[in-house]
A and B are shown apart, each in its own frame.
Chain A
Amino acid sequence: MSYGYEQCIVLIVTVPLITSFLVVLLGWFKRWLCYPLVLAALGVSFLCSLGILDLVMERGTIHYWQGGWEPPWGIEYVVDHLNAFMLVMLTFIGLMVAIYSKKSIEREIPEKLVPYYSIFLLMVTGLIGITVTGDLFNAFVFLEIASLTAYALIAVGEDGAPMAAFNYVIMGTIGACFYYLGIGYVYIATGSLNMADLSQLLPALYHNKAVLVGFALFTVGIAVKMGLFPLHVWLPDAYTYAPSATSAVIAPLFTKVMAYLMVRIFFTLFKPHFSIDLIPITQILTWVAAGGIIAGSILAIAQTDLKRMLAYSSIANIGYIVLGIGLANRMGLTGGLLHILNHAFMKGTLFLVAGGIMYKMGMRDITQFRGLHKKMPFTMAAFTIAALSMIGIPPTGGFFSKFYLVLGAIDARQWAFIVVLLASSLLNAVYFFRVIENIYLEPPVTAYATDGGTHEEIKRDELPLSMLVPILIMAAGVVLLGIFNERIIAFIIRFAVPASF
């Protein structure tokens, strides 16, 4: 084994993992050290992920054997095109939210700054670990690292947060337990935990009852974890009451990584032939997802709280991704994977802006946003871009993922889903334009004028730079993802879709 570029695969996990402990140790003496340490660790991870992406595009799948033990026995880290783009996305958004978090954490939970940063870093580590590992049980361990830290990050939020976190603990544990019960059943049948090894062993056992049960448990467990409708009950409260930096990192990343795990299990661990033909799981999932898209959008319209509205819109967007997985053809899955990336960027931007509004104004009711465009023009512009992307207006990224999803539905001859996709875009337009209208068009009310301005003149009062810059970069990312979508598909996602499609 050569000691070169491949070491990035290990560094991308170990650097933030070790730094998360250093943050506690050093933060004990010097509180200001936490923030630069977190940035440095995530920066190194981001650079590593770029290196890995470069290497994967050049050479194909990379394997790394932990401690030199060969795959069926030892734990293996595998990175192919699918993980590589997930890694870049995870580390980049993690870094952006970390930059953003400084002021908002100091405002919201000043006394818990040191543990917060440590746990934040540990959560990103867990998510990276799930993505990078090629071993089922190892993925479970990283999943629990990410979940436990997510519970803690949510619990430190505002008034309703502990209760939301407790419900999330219960639901999340059910999901994770089903997942590792599934591992048990697959292990009974095969005696292996390595994903690549299992995909060789399993085809002979596709009619084995234990394997079928294992597959069902995987599906349910991951569906709970990713908040797929109707298993989403933990999600809205958790996103609403969490500190703004927490919702900005959990909402774009956590459910997306679970969607990634679902793709892995459906199309890598089990061959597509099994998930599509032998048991019609993908067909069932498309209908569940379609229900989720419509229900999530309608529930989002009913909300007046911005963060809660975004949370329900997340449920709808999980529906898009699962619909892409469930259509199980080239176009559909391309759309689903592209939507993982796009949704991470646009929902990240939206939650960052929601946190920014709360930081500056301490309010989150949509009807109070009147005239905000004069006060925070750049932030509101970023919000508008991300909202347009959610609706699906070109040239933003959201348009293209929906476009591919529609193409996938046409390929699958599933006309109902085209109606669902278009209808949900209209519903998205309803609730996002209601916010945009409040921001830009409605005249400001007197209650708002207490904040330094009168009816007519509102002073410009932007967010501090450390919060504004990540928001603008993410918003620019939403547009860039749209403009360069063809390149992303041609160089990365095309290889991530199973060859048999």
Chain B
Amino acid sequence: MLEYIISKYNYWVYIFLMMLGLYGMIGKRNLVKKLIGMNIFQVAIILFYISIGSKVGGDIPILTAEDLHGMADPGKYLNPIPHVLMLTAIVVGIATTGVALAIIIMIYNRYKTLAEDEILEIRKKTGA
């Protein structure tokens, strides 16, 4: 059992990080902490994808001269597709963080605080 758990350690790491991120988004009352939680959540999924693309003893998926003469053996190489997809996903993650940071600046300019409780109180008072 223990061996089974250890042999899949990459997935445990990803699940742990994902839950950490989810907790950050839901449990934390500070907007920046929520945002960091969101980031951890995204990074966890990126790690998951990277780990499904890798294999023990695999090489980077670039054909060498000798491969071109014979048949290239797919078993020798890592799967490039998850890695390539994650390039896009990383960009998406950065863009989301950027948009969220811009919105946080707008919120700060408006309420002069980033604690959710205080913002809710101000909104209740002004009725907005």
Q: Do A and B bind each other?
A: yes
Given A141-B92, A148-B95, A174-B25; A184-B45 close (CB under 8 Å): yes
| CB under 8 Å from chain B, chain A span 146-182 | 148, 151-152, 155, 158-160, 162-163, 165-166, 169-170, 173-174, 177, 180-181
Residue A187, interface by CB 8 Å: yes
Number of interface residues of A (CB under 8 A): 25
Interface segment, one of B2-10, B61-69, B101-109: B101-109
- Flag if B25 contacts A155 (CB, 8 Å): no
Quick one: given A151-B99, A181-B45, are A187 and B107 in contact (CB under 8 Å)? no
10 A–B pairs (Cβ distance < 8 Å), ordered by A? A151-B99, A155-B103, A160-B123, A162-B107, A166-B31, A166-B103, A170-B34, A173-B38, A173-B41, A177-B42
A449 in the interface, Cβ–Cβ < 8 Å? no
**CB–CB A163/B49 < 8 A:** no
* Cα-based distance from A266 to B103 in the complex (angstroms): 35
Within the complex, what minimum Cβ distance (angstroms) separates B10 from chain A?
A: 13
| B13 interface residue per 8 A CB criterion | no
A137 near B: Cβ within 8 Å? yes
Contact A180–B31 (Cβ < 8 Å): no
B125 interface contact, C-beta 8 A: no
Q: Is A144 an interface residue (CB 8 A)?
A: yes
Given A160-B128, A163-B107, A163-B119: A169 in contact with B100 (beta carbons within 8 A): yes
Which B residues, 28 to 68, have Cβ-Cβ distances below 8 Å to chain A? 31, 34, 38, 41-42, 45, 48-49, 52
A148-B99, A160-B128, A162-B107 known; A170 and B45 CB under 8 Å? no
Q: Say whether, besides A148-B96, A181-B48, A173 and B106 are in contact (CB < 8 Å).
A: no
Residue of A nearest to B39 (CB): A173
Contact B52 A159 (CB under 8 A): no
Number of interface residues of B (CB under 8 A): 31
Closest chain B residue, CB of each to CB of A241: B128
Using A137-B85, A144-B92, A170-B34 as known contacts, say yes or no to A165 and B128 having CB atoms under 8 A apart.
no
Bound-state Cα–Cα, A148 to B93, Å: 10
With a 10 A CB-CB cut-off, give which of B45, B48, B82, B92 has the most chain A CB atoms: B92
B→A interface (CB under 8 Å):
22, 25, 31, 34, 38, 41-42, 45, 48-49, 52, 81-82, 85, 88-89, 92, 95-96, 99-100, 102-104, 106-107, 110, 119, 123, 126, 128
Contact in complex: B45, A162 (CB < 8 Å): no
Among candidates A137, A162, A170, A180, residue contacting B25 with C-beta atoms closer than 8 Å:
A170
In the complex, which residue of chain B has the Cβ closest to the Cβ of A188?
A: B52
CA–CA, A152 to B101, complex, Å? 11
Give the chain B neighbours of A181 by CB distance below 8 A.
45, 48
Closest to A170 in B: B25
Q: Give Cα distance in the complex from A188 to B51, angstroms.
A: 11
In the complex with contacts A144-B96, A148-B95, A177-B42, A184-B48 CB distance below 8 A? yes
CB of A173 within 8 A of CB of B42, answer: yes
Q: Are B49 and A184 in contact (CB under 8 A)?
A: yes
When chains A and B are docked, how far (Å) is the Cα of A165 from the Cα of B100? 9
Residue of B whose beta carbon sits closest to that of A161? B106
Given contacts A160-B123, A162-B106, A187-B82, whether A169 and B95 have CB atoms under 8 Å apart is no
**In whole angstroms, how far apart are the Cα atoms of A169 and B34 in the complex?**
11
Residue among B41, B45, B85, B103 with the most chain A CB within 10 A?
B103
**Complex: A282 Cα to B41 Cα, angstroms:** 29
Residues of chain A contacted by B103 (CB below 8 angstroms): 151, 155, 162, 165-166, 169
- A-B pairs with lowest CB-CB distance, top 4: A162-B106, A159-B128, A162-B107, A144-B92
State in angstroms the CA–CA spacing of A345 and B31 once bound together. Answer: 36
Q: How far is the CA of A177 from the CA of B42 in the complex (A)?
A: 7
- Give Cα A155–Cα B107 distance, bound, in whole angstroms: 10
Complex contacts, A166 vs chain B, CB 8 Å: 31, 100, 103-104, 107
Q: How far is the CA of A165 from the CA of B128 in the complex (A)?
A: 14
Q: How far is the CA of A170 from the CA of B39 in the complex (A)?
A: 10
Q: What CA separation (Å) do A455 and B23 show in the bound complex? A: 57
- Interface positions of A from 179 to 221, Cβ below 8 Å from B: 180-181, 184, 187-188, 193
B52 and A184: CB pair below 8 A? yes
> Chain B: which residue is nearest A178 at the CB level?
B45
B117 to chain A, nearest CB (A): 13
Interface centre among A152, A184, A188 (most CB of B within 10 A): A184
Roughly how many angstroms separate A148 CA and B97 CA in the complex, as a whole number?
A: 10
- Residues of A125-151 at the interface with B, using a CB-CB cut-off of 8 Å, are 137, 141, 144, 148, 151
Q: Is the Cβ of A170 less than 8 Å from the Cβ of B123? A: no
Q: Which residue of B has the minimal Cβ distance to A156? A: B106
Contact in complex: B128, A180 (CB < 8 Å): no
CB distance from B33 to the nearest CB of A (A): 11
Indicate whether A159 sits within 8 Å of B110 (C-beta atoms), given known contacts A152-B99, A173-B38.
yes
Most central of A141, A155, A177, A188 by chain B CB within 10 Å: A177
How far is A159 from B103 in the complex, measured between Cα atoms in Å? 13
Residues in A with CB closer than 8 Å to B96 are: 144, 148, 169, 173
Q: How far is the CB of B85 from chain A (nearest CB, A)?
A: 6
Report chain B residues within 8 Å CB of A151. Answer: 99-100, 103
Partner of A177, one of B41, B95, B123, B128: B41
In the complex, A177→B96 CA distance in Å?
12
Residues of B with C-beta under 8 A to A174: 22, 25, 38, 41
Contacts of B85 in A (CB 8 A): 137
Q: Please give, as numbers and ranges, the residues of chain B lying within 8 Å of A158 by CB-CB distance.
A: 128
Given contacts A166-B100, A169-B103, 10 further A-B contacts (CB under 8 A): A151-B99, A151-B100, A152-B102, A155-B103, A160-B123, A162-B107, A170-B34, A173-B41, A177-B45, A184-B49
